[in-house]
C-alpha cells in the first residue's frame, strides 16, 4: 500500500459517512457550526424521497451525509475535527441545538471539547497548538509509564492520568452511556 493511495479530486484517504434522521437539518446544523460548504451537485434523493447522498466540505475534508431509512438501526457517528477556535465552534453548536459534552480542556498541549448534535452524533473538536508538547511520553512525569506502556502493549492509563484526562474520560463515558436512538427518545 502506498502512503497516500490515489483518490478522486476533492476526497481524502478517509472520508466519514453519517446516517441520520433528518439529514437535511443535520447538514444545515453542520454548515452553521463548522462553516461547512454544502456540495449541492452531490445531493441525491432516493425513490422514497429520503436523502441518499449529500456531501459537505469541512476544511480539507469531505463528509457524506444521508437519511437513515426507517428500518435501519441507529448508528451514531463519532467524528474528530480540528478547528481554529474551539470556543466559537461550541458557541455555534449550542446556539443551533447541540449539547456540550466536554468543555474545552487541555489535552496533550491541544484543546479538546466535545458536543452532541441534534441527530445524536458525537463530535470531538480540537484546537491544535503546534508549539505544545504533543507526546505524553515526552513529559518528565511519564517516563516510567511510557516504559511500562511499551513493555506489554497495554498499560492501565491511571499511571499517567491527570484531572483533565479524568474529566475527558468521564464526560465521554457519561455521553456514551446516555446515548439513545433519537426515534425512541422522549
Answer whether residue 184 is part of any domain: no
> How far does CA 67 lie from the centroid of its chain?
19
Answer whether residue 96 is part of any domain: yes
pTM above 0.85, yes or no: no
Answer whether residue 153 is part of any domain: yes
Give pLDDT, residue 143.
47
Would strands 17-20 and 61-67 be described as parallel, antiparallel, or unpaired? parallel
Answer whether residue 118 is part of any domain: yes
Complete DSSP assignment for 114-148: EEE-TTS-EEEEEE--TTS---GGGSGGGHHHHHH
Nearest to 62 by CA among 46, 78, 75, 81: 81
Q: Residue ranges of the chain with pLDDT lower than 70?
A: 1-2, 133-155, 157, 186
Answer whether residue 4 is part of any domain: no
Answer whether residue 12 is part of any domain: no
Where residue 100 sits, what CATH number does that domain have?
A: 3.10.180.10
Give pLDDT, residue 61.
93
Q: 107 is in which domain, residue-wise? A: 17-177
**Residues 98 and 117 sit within 8 Å (Cβ to Cβ):** yes
Give pLDDT, residue 2.
62
Give pLDDT, residue 147.
46
Domain count, the chain: 1
Give pLDDT, residue 152.
53
Answer whether residue 68 is part of any domain: yes
Answer whether residue 9 is part of any domain: no
Give pLDDT, residue 139.
47
Q: Could you tell me the CA-to-CA distances from 124 to 11, 51, 175 in Å, in that order?
A: 21, 25, 12
User: What SS3 class is residue 23?
Assistant: helix
Amino acid at each position: 500500500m502506498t502512503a497516500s493511495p490515489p483518490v478522486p479530486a476533492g476526497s481524502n484517504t478517509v472520508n466519514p459517512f453519517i446516517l441520520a434522521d433528518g439529514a437535511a437539518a443535520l447538514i444545515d446544523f453542520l454548515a452553521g457550526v463548522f462553516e461547512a460548504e454544502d456540495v449541492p451537485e452531490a445531493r441525491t434523493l432516493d425513490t422514497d424521497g429520503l436523502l441518499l447522498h449529500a456531501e459537505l466540505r469541512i476544511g480539507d475534508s469531505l463528509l457524506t451525509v444521508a437519511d437513515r431509512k426507517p428500518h435501519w438501526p441507529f448508528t451514531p457517528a463519532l467524528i474528530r475535527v480540528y478547528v481554529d477556535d474551539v470556543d466559537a465552534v461550541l458557541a455555534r453548536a449550542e446556539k443551533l441545538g447541540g449539547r456540550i459534552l466536554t468543555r474545552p480542556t487541555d489535552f496533550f498541549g491541544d484543546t479538546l471539547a466535545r458536543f452532541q448534535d441534534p441527530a445524536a452524533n458525537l463530535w470531538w473538536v480540537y484546537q491544535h497548538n503546534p508549539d505544545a508538547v504533543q507526546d505524553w511520553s515526552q513529559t518528565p512525569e511519564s517516563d516510567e509509564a511510557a516504559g511500562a506502556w511499551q513493555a506489554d502493549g497495554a498499560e492501565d492509563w491511571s499511571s499517567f492520568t491527570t484531572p483533565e484526562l479524568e474529566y475527558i474520560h468521564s464526560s465521554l463515558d457519561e455521553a456514551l452511556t446516555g446515548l439513545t436512538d433519537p426515534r425512541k427518545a422522549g
